[in-house]
Each structure stands twice: as C-alpha cells, then as structure tokens.
C-alpha cells in the first residue's frame, strides 16, 4: 500500500513538472522528459501610436505653429527570457531596441491684402530607444491564453527631425515646398517609464520550443517633451520564439 501511494505521488509531481509551462512535452508515457522552466527567445513586434501635444515649432526665434495631434508607426526587436514558477505563472524579462517614425501636421493661415496664405507645417521625427521590460504573466483557465503586465524602462539615445512647410494656397505662390533647416522644437526626455498590458497565446510547435503571440498597449508615465505636454498611447502586436534551456 505504501509503495502504491509513493508511486502515485511520484507520478503526480513528475507530471506537474512536465506540464510546468502547460505543454505535454513527452514522446510517450514510457519515455518522459524533464521539461525546462527557463526559456530564452527572440522578440519582434510592430507598433502604432497616437500622439497628443502642445509642442512649438520655431524658425530661429520666430514662432511658426504649435503641433497638437500626430501619429507614429515603428518596430522593435530584441531578446526575452521567461522563467516559469508553476504551470500558470511566469516572470518576463526583455531587452529591446525600438524605433518609431512620428509625424505631426499643422495648417496655418496668414491673411494678406487680397487673399490669405495657407501653409502646412510638417514635423517628421525618427525616435530610437533601448527598453528594459520587467513583468509577470498568468495563464487563463489552464489554457494557453494569457494576460501579462509589465513596465518598460526606456532610454532615448537618438532622434532625427525633419521640418518642412508646404504652400496650399494660393496656387501661384513662387514656391511650393521648403525644408526648414533652422527650425527647432521642445527638448525630449531621455528617460521614461511605460506601464504595459498584454494579452496573448502560447503555441508549442516543437519539443522545448514555443511561440508567444501577443497584443499589448502602453502609455508613458511622463511627458515625452521636457517643458511641454506630449503624451502618447501605443498598440503593439508581435511574437516571441522561445527555446527551453534549463
């Protein structure tokens, strides 16, 4: 009797470890394997964001316009680690390179003697940063769907800005478009923190390998500009390919 109880307990804990990530990674019951709990992987995602601001565009010391609403799209690539503590919960750690192209447009009208001059100012900014993500993940109802919450600690290391002005009216104006080489706008914060919420699905495509597909949303805790309002909200979808190592 004691031997039967011991065998049942042994089988229970063996199966619990085998399913520590929710996947039944064994060829047959006669040849069980020890499933890893630590995984490393490659991360890639596409993002789209909306920007709301009151940043000023100046040419030398002359105020040209104030940008209010913009949009951006970009991508991120990097490496991720996931440590499973049970069959339903894990800790996440990622180091990512993120790149975004942000665009703002503003139409201004300047009255003249017989008509008005209508121009469109445009700001195109390429923003690159390094982000460290720390968070946790929870499987839903013993399925492979999951929810996760994390924080991105972001350092902006490069920006590239292009400013231009296009004449919309009158059509016979001497020039149509010009690049404003002497323009400037508000300084950008180098450091920021982004709370992040994620929903996703894990799919095992081979022994000790799985892909984690996700959709996530994040916003910055602080303004992107140092002395002006500049908020954003971002939606990302992507995937991580994990391989078990321990």
Span 109-140, pLDDT tens digits? 887 666 788 999 999 999 999 999 999 999 99
For residues 109 and 103, the answer to whether their CB atoms sit within 8 Å is no
- Does residue 9 register a pLDDT over 60? no
Rounded to whole angstroms, the Cα distance separating 230 from 245 reads 42
Percent of the chain at pLDDT above 70? 85
Span 198-224, pLDDT tens digits? 999 999 988 889 999 999 999 999 999
Cα 70 to Cα 30, 101, 102, 136, 231: the distances in Å are 60, 11, 7, 32, 10
pLDDT score, position 103? 94
Give burial (CB, 10 Å; 0-12/13-18/19+) of 128: middle
pLDDT-derived band at 187 (thresholds 50, 70, 90) equals confident
Asked whether the CA dihedral 58, 64, 70, 74 is positive or negative, the reply is: negative
pLDDT-derived band at 66 (thresholds 50, 70, 90) equals confident
pLDDT score, position 26? 56
pLDDT-derived band at 142 (thresholds 50, 70, 90) equals confident
How is the chain split into domains, by residue range?
Answer: 2-25+33-244
Task: List the one residue out of 95, 102, 93, 26 whose CA is nearest residue 70.
Answer: 102
Mean pLDDT of 54-80: 89
Q: How far apart are the first and last CA of the chain?
A: 35
pLDDT-derived band at 23 (thresholds 50, 70, 90) equals low
Q: Which fold has domain 2-25+33-244?
A: Porin (2.40.160)
Q: Which of 11-15, 21-25, 108-112 has the lowest mean pLDDT?
A: 11-15
Mean pLDDT of 53-80: 90
pLDDT-derived band at 25 (thresholds 50, 70, 90) equals low
| Mean pLDDT over each residue of the chain, to the nearest integer | 85
């Amino acid at each position: 009797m004691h031997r039967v109880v011991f065998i049942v307990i042994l089988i229970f804990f063996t199966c619990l470890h085998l399913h520590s990530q929710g996947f039944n990674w064994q060829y047959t019951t006669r040849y069980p394997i020890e499933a890893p709990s630590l995984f490393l992987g490659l991360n890639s995602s596409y993002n789209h964001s909306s920007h709301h601001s009151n940043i000023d565009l100046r040419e030398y010391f002359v105020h040209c316009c104030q940008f209010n609403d913009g949009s951006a799209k970009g991508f991120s690539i990097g490496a991720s680690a996931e440590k499973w503590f049970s069959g339903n919960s894990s800790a996440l750690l990622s180091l990512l390179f993120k790149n975004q192209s942000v665009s703002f447009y503003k139409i201004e009208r300047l009255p003249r003697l017989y008509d008005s001059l209508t121009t469109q100012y445009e700001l195109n900014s390429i923003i690159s940063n390094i982000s460290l993500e720390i968070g946790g993940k929870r499987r839903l109802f013993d399925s492979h769907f999951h929810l996760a919450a994390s924080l991105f600690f972001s350092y902006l290391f490069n920006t590239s800005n292009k400013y231009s002005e296009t004449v919309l009216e009158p059509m016979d104006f001497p020039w149509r478009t010009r690049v404003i080489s002497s323009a400037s706008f508000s300084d950008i914060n180098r450091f920021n923190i982004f709370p992040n919420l994620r929903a996703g699905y894990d799919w095992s495509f081979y022994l000790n390998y799985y892909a984690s597909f996700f959709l996530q949303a994040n916003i910055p805790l602080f303004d992107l500009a140092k002395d002006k309002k500049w908020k954003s909200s971002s939606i990302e979808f992507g995937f991580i390919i994990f391989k078990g190592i321990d």
